[in-house]
Amino acid sequence: MDTMDKLKILSADSQYDLACACGTGKDDRRRRGLDGKWLYPVSLPQGGYSVLLKTLMSNACSNDCKYCPLRSETNVRRCTLQPEETANVFMEYARKKIVFGLFLSSGVIGNPDNTMDKLNAVARILRHKHAYKGYIHLKVIPGASDAAIEDSISLSNAVSLNIETPGKEHFELLSSKKNYMDDIIRPLKLMAKLTGQGMKRSKVKCTTQFIVGASNETDSEIIRYMLTLYDRLKFQRVYFSAYQKGLGHPDIPGERVLQPDPERMFMREHRLYQTDFLVRRYGFSQNDIILDGSGNLDLDKDPKEIWAESHPEFYPVAVNRAEKEDLLKVPGLGPQTVDVILKQRRFTKIGNFKDIGLKGKRLEKANRYVIFE
C-alpha cells in the first residue's frame, strides 16, 4: 500500500479513541475529511475552529484489550506508517492549512517502548527537521518506560493515556496482558508529575478516557476516579467512550448484557459528560451528583435537573441578586448565560430572560426555578 492507502485505513481505525479535543456541537463534531481521514475540531485561542489530523501509526497490535476491534486476535487489514512518511504527509496538510495539528496514536508494535520510539520520532522530525511549532498530541502507550514518556512530553503540546476502567478489578476483565497499576496508573501519575505546576513542561496538557460499559463498572466508580484525576493529578480533561457491542470479545460484560440498547449506551456516555461538565464548570461536588440505588446516573433526566428536583428549598433563585454559584444551579442556565446575567445586572435590572436573549426549551426550564424580584 502507498502512504495514502495506509492513511485511509489508519485514520478510520483511530475513531475509537476520543481523548483529544473534540466536541458534540454542530461546529465541533468530528467529520470525514479528504482521503477518508477523521478530522477533529479544536477550539483556537483566537476564536473559531480548525481541525486535527488524527491517525494511528499502526493498527497492528500485540495487546489483547477485549473491547478493542484491533486487538491481536482479530482479522483486520493491518498496516504501519513509518515516522518519515507520517511526518511528511502531515506537513503537506499543515502547509495547505487544511489541519491545525496532529493527534498521533498507535497499536502496540511489538512492545510499548518500540512503539513510543516511533511516535516520538514523528514529533522529533516535525519539530527539528520541519521546524514545526504547532499543535502535537501524542498518545502514551500503556507500559511505556519513564524515559519514553518524558521524551513524549518534551516534544508535544498534549499527551494522553486511556485509564480504560475505574480500578484493577474491572480492568482485569478486559485484558490479561496488561497490568493496571504498572501499565496504566504508574504512567498517569508520571504524566501528572512531569506536567505539574512549577515543572518545566507545565504547559503540556494531560487527558485520559474511560471505555464505558465494556466492563461491569458503575457510574459511581467512574465519577470517583474522574474526580481523582482532576483533583489530585490535575488532568485537563477526562473523556468517555461508550462501548459498542459487537466490536469486542464475547466473554466481556459489555457483550454479555442481554439485548443492550445502543442508544441507552450512548445516553450513559452523554450523562457522564454532563456530570463532568457540572464538576469542571458549575462547581458541583461529588455529593451533588445524585445516583440511583445501583450507583448509576438516571438516563432519562440530566443530573443538574435531578439535583434541582431534589432540593426544592434552594429555589426560586433571585436572578438580580443571586451569587454566581447559585445561578449555575438553575436548570437551563449555563456558564455563558450566567456571565451575561452578572454583566448586565451591573447596569440594569433584568425583568425576564428575554432581556438576555434566552429562549426555547432552556427559557421554559429556567423560568420554573427563578424569580425576577
pLDDT one digit per residue (tens) for the chain, 373 residues? 788 888 888 877 777 665 554 444 444 455 555 555 555 554 444 444 557 788 899 999 999 999 998 898 888 889 999 999 999 999 998 998 888 899 999 999 999 999 999 999 999 999 999 999 999 999 999 999 999 999 999 999 999 999 999 999 999 999 999 999 999 999 999 999 999 999 999 999 999 999 999 999 999 999 999 999 999 999 999 999 888 888 889 999 998 876 567 778 889 999 999 999 999 999 999 999 999 999 999 999 999 999 999 999 999 999 999 999 999 999 999 999 999 999 999 999 999 998 888 888 889 999 999 999 7
Residue 140, all three cell numbers: 502514551
Instruction: Answer whether 70's CB lies under 8 Å from 1's CB.
Output: no
- Amino acid 369: pLDDT: 96
> Residue 348's pLDDT is what?
92
* CA distance linking residue 54 with residue 35, whole number of Å: 12
CATH code of the domain made up of 3-264: 3.20.20.70
Output the pTM of the full model.
0.89
The structural domains of the chain, with segments of one domain joined by +, span: 3-264, 311-371
Specify the CATH number of the domain 311-371: 1.10.150
Alpha helices, DSSP H only, in the chain? 3-13, 83-95, 112-124, 146-155, 168-171, 186-194, 219-231, 253-256, 262-281, 303-310, 324-327, 335-344, 360-367
